[in-house]
Amino acid sequence: MHNDREVRTFLLGATMFTLEQIHCFNQVFVTNSYSQAGKVLGKTRTTVREQIVALEDSTGLALFELEGKRLTPTQAAKAIFERTVLLGKHARDLQETLLSLHDSTLTELVICHDPLVPMNLLTRLHAAISSQFPHLNVQFLDRVRENAFVEVKQGRAQIALMASENLIATSHELDVINLGTMRFSAYLSKQHPLAKAKSVSLNDLRLVKQYMTESAANGGLGSYPMSVNKQIITDTNLLLEMAAQDGWTIIPEWLAKSHASQKGLIKIKLEEVLQSQPHNVCAFFPIHYRSDEQLREIANIVGQVGKNNLS
């Protein structure tokens, strides 16, 4: 919907380029791949490549060199990258602010969340928002990190509760509020021979099946890939059941307290630093949210509830 209203073309002297080209350039610079950039932007590899070629033609600059399967930025690309990131962010800010002025009253609030976000945080968030905005239809959708960012960027969702920010998040032109931290620990099947060991090392675990959520496997909460045999399970309950049979997993302590023992999992006394590792949880918003009074109030609620329910 937003793309139909987007003012796409900017002029710089005699050189003309589009915001789509700038967004594609920024993502290819970060990912070193047309395909990976396309996944982040929701575009095909061919479309991304065409946008880069068009940008190179209009500027007269070679921006990337192919080295094997990797696209390496040229010196020209490195020289303009910081400016193109700012341009993309400011353009998105202007676009979203203008759109928000036309329709600033939400009737539906979609919150995407990592499957390992604490359940009590989600339920209390729902209660607090519903109390303040009883007319809102509040929906909570389980999403992989990058998919959640795309949904917020494209206006299909308003909030994403995910692992802490990095460069990829910045390239999505999203604003972020740090809510607090969660603690993770490793849990092993009671039936596994290592369960009887006095201590377990990370090297021991690298040879045992590691069960991970799809989100964790893609940089989400609990993203500690260590085993050579990683098993990706979408459903959290199924993940715990399978780990209890023949493997191990890294889960937040809130989930372990209520499920680990009854599922047949025991906490591993690791020799290394993994024990009780913290992971930041953030709320990601459209960059225009501060200009939308309703969304700004919701952001304040999210920040307060997060502060009260996370360490």
**271 and 199 in a common domain:** yes
Q: What is the pLDDT of residues 226-255, one digit of tens each?
A: 899 999 999 999 999 999 999 999 999 999
The whole-angstrom separation of Cα 303 and Cα 288 is 17
**12 and 89 in a common domain:** yes
Of 55, 76, 102, which closes a domain?
102
Q: At what angle do helices 75-102 and 19-31 cross, to 10 degrees?
A: 130
pTM of the model: 0.65
Task: Give the three-state DSSP class for 150.
Answer: helix
Domain span including residue 271: 181-278
Q: What is the pLDDT of residues 93-145, one digit of tens each?
A: 777 666 655 555 778 999 999 999 999 999 999 999 999 998 889 999 999 98
Measure Cα distances from 19 to 37, 104, 160 in Å.
15, 24, 24
**150 and 286 in a common domain:** yes
**113 and 97 in a common domain:** no
Element (H, E) at 261: helix 253-263
**272 and 295 in a common domain:** no
**290 and 152 in a common domain:** yes
CATH number at residue 252: 3.40.190.10
**271 and 190 in a common domain:** yes
CATH number at residue 89: 1.10.10.10
Q: How many domains does the chain have?
A: 3
**241 and 117 in a common domain:** no
pLDDT of 10 reads 40
Are 125 and 308 spatial neighbours (Cβ–Cβ below 8 Å)?
no
- Please name which of 196, 195, 169 lies closest in space to residue 282, comparing C-alpha atoms: 169
Q: What is the pLDDT of residues 66-88, one digit of tens each?
A: 999 899 999 999 999 999 999 98
- Residues 230, 235, 238, CA angle at the centre, nearest 5°? 75
